[in-house]
Amino acid sequence: MISVKTAQTAARHWELDFKALRPDLLLQGSPERCLCRTAFEDKIGRLFVLEKIAPARLETKRLICRVLDHLWTHSLNQAVPYLKTADSAFPVFCEGGWWLISPFIAGTPLDRPAYIKTAPKGASLARFLCDLSRYAGTIPHDPVLPAFSLKHYILEMEQQMAQHDPDVGHRVSPVLGFLKNSFMDRHDSLPVAFCHGDYHPLNVIWQDDVVLAVIDWEFCGTKPDIYDAANLVGCVGMEHPSGLTGNLVMTFLSGIRGASVISPQSWDLFAEFVLALRFAWMAEWLRKKDSEMVELEIVYMHLLMDNMEALKAAWGVPDRCPWKE
């Protein structure tokens, strides 16, 4: 819990006149992205979120602050920045820790799983990704901007599962074999771009069917240009397999395909990339020792693999892609 005194002290660094904590407000996004957080109100009725940063994550948070501030100043309004202090600092040290403040954004609850049938949400998700692709090209080169290889991540995870989770490793070995035959050799040739890194409907603050803000940028960085689109589609399908070809996904894919956000060679590997990204989620379930989600993920991986050709046909990959017509 964050005390009133701590919140008051932190707020003063941003020249905010603290009034009260607001534990009644629902904070969206993963609470694991910080040590603790709370909403508070100032004396003119504005709402904010105060979060405490783990020292080990300080440089990553500073990077995220710079990226969000840059995107916001270049008119990507859904990339809501953290507040700067009067001397343009982002994290501030006080009360024994590092703190950040951002505006509190109220949104519309996501109707799960019914949202997977909503075409307007798919269109809005596509528009944001198109805008991110356009504005991300203006981000100054940063030597600490992380690059990520899904291929290397999966191969390292295979070794870790063999040592620590051999049963899971055995059950996903057919999926690994499939990816080694159809994905691994082509991964390193994919064009890269700046990506959000965890883009899916639960990391969006919605206003009905409109993307009001995109949150949880902790995994942003340089990745294959297909990364965000593939992650979103895989997450929608995890809500219910029908979502893989439902209105949201099909409208989303149409939107980003029409804007040429993703390179042709990446589109050719889209279905395999959706499957490969599930290993990042599997790692999360294994870390949390969530046996129910591990089991569900194994089933989902096999479903994606076994229906790969049908999914490619539904998504227009590769035969019906416009650049091949």
Kindly write down the DSSP assignment for every residue of 2-50, as one continuous string.
--HHHHHHHHHHTT--EEEE-TTSPPPS-GGGSSEEEEEEETTS-EEEE
SS3 112: coil
Instruction: Give percent of the chain above pLDDT 70.
Output: 96
pLDDT at 141: 66
Cα first-last separation, the chain: 58
Mean pLDDT of 282-286: 97
**Using an 8 Å Cβ cutoff, are 224 and 191 in contact?**
yes
Strand order of the β-sheet with 97-103 is 18-21, 36-42, 47-53, 97-103, 92-94
Question: pLDDT confidence of 140, banded at 50, 70, 90?
Answer: confident
Task: Work out the mean pLDDT of the chain and round it to a whole number.
Answer: 93
Mean pLDDT of 302-324: 80
- Angle, CA 271 vertex, CA 230 and CA 258 arms, to 5°: 65
pLDDT at 214: 98
pLDDT at 325: 38
Tell me which CATH code domain 4-103 carries: 3.30.200.20
Provide the residue type at 135 as one letter: Y
pLDDT tens per residue, range 160-186: 999 999 999 999 999 999 999 989 999
Residue 142 has pLDDT above 50, yes or no: yes
Q: Alpha-carbon distance 72 to 81, whole Å? A: 7
Domain boundaries, the chain: 4-103, 114-324
pLDDT at 320: 40
pLDDT at 322: 38
* Most confident among 62-76, 138-152, 229-243 (mean pLDDT): 229-243
pLDDT at 317: 87
Residue 65: CB atoms within 10 Å: 20
Mean pLDDT of 66-82: 95
pLDDT tens per residue, range 226-263: 999 999 999 999 999 999 999 999 999 999 998 888 99
pLDDT tens per residue, range 14-49: 999 999 999 999 999 899 999 999 999 999 999 999
Residue 138 has pLDDT above 90, yes or no: no
pLDDT at 273: 98
pLDDT at 323: 35
Helix (H) or strand (E) holding 312: helix 308-315
Question: pLDDT confidence of 321, banded at 50, 70, 90?
Answer: very low
Question: pLDDT confidence of 101, banded at 50, 70, 90?
Answer: very high
Question: pLDDT confidence of 147, banded at 50, 70, 90?
Answer: confident
Residue 319 has pLDDT above 60, yes or no: no
Question: pLDDT confidence of 136, banded at 50, 70, 90?
Answer: confident
Mean pLDDT of 265-271: 95
pLDDT tens per residue, range 179-191: 999 899 999 999 9
Residue 87 has pLDDT above 90, yes or no: no
Residue linked to tokens 């809005």: 124
pLDDT at 108: 95
**Which superfamily does 114-324 belong to?**
Aminoglycoside phosphotransferase (APH), C-terminal lobe (3.90.1200.10)
